[in-house]
Amino acid sequence: MKRFAFAGRVCLITGAASGIGAALALELAKRRAVLALLDIDAPGVERVAALAREMGAAEVTTYVVDLSDGADRLDLAAEIAARHGGVDLLINNAGVTLMGTFEQNQMSDFDWLLEINLHAVIRMTKAFLPQLLARPGAHLVNISSLFGLVAPPGQVAYATSKFGVRGFTDALRHELEPRDVGVTVVHPGGIKTNIAAAARVSGADPDGEQIEQAQRFAEAALTLPAEEAARQIVAAIQARRPRLVLTKEAKAGDWLVRLTPTRWWAVTQRFGKRRGIL
């Protein structure tokens, strides 16, 4: 499969108002892509759109969508097809997280997270797959997580969703490979975004020890700027890489869980306590 060329190609990004999504929009704007930016945050996505236009995007349109509402996205796909003729690159980036143990989590919060992190990825892919199949050399990117490789306590909902994204993407890659559609799954580790700060607290004391520990861990782990993450993701798309593990922490976690699938968390705890972050 040929390398992906971005100039003039229609690129749809979910979760484009901040973090990795915003950084991806600006990185693709430099490459003269046509951008369709989607987020629930209307002012935020418009700010990113304005910056993308300044940075050279061929065209930018925005769509304010609540991915937690369970819609099939067929109307959105029809709207984007009418405006742009179809999508060449779909990046399912939007994601949320949830604080608290599984025992503490309310099922309504668990379902909310799964709807955004997993079901929306599936629905967006289903809605836009006909367009991807119709565009020569199209590409699909699904953002999983380090927690799609390892599953720590206190992250049951998030890990469930991100392991789901990983499995969905890996299986779909094998189906689409003969049909000239590239597929990449991305496992970011400690990226400097606001996902931890914006986490929903479900059945847990927001001033409690567990929340403070999670915040300390996030501050220590979130080290890679979103702009650098976006550059690496764009390079992986261009090269048609099937899998990208971002940050040394994520690579170490991937290696550790392969080495000791049932003991990796005990090893991580010992290391974290020595560093004062667990």
Residues with catalytic roles: 158
Query: Which tokens go with 122?
Result: 């599936």
Round to whole Å and give the CA distance between 17 and 213.
28
Query: Which tokens go with 65?
Result: 């969508």
DSSP type of residue 99: E
Residue type, 134: A
Residue type, 24: L
3-class SS of residue 246: strand
Cβ-based neighbour number of residue 224 at 10 Å = 20
Round to whole Å and give the CA distance between 28 and 147.
26
**Beta carbons of 57 and 31 less than 8 angstroms apart:** no
Dihedral angle computed from the Cα positions of residues 244, 247, 249 and 250, in that order, rounded to the nearest 10 degrees:
-20
230-261 as b/e: b if 16+ CB within 10 A: bebbbebbeeeeebbbbbebbebbbebbeeee
Max Cα distance, the chain (Å): 56
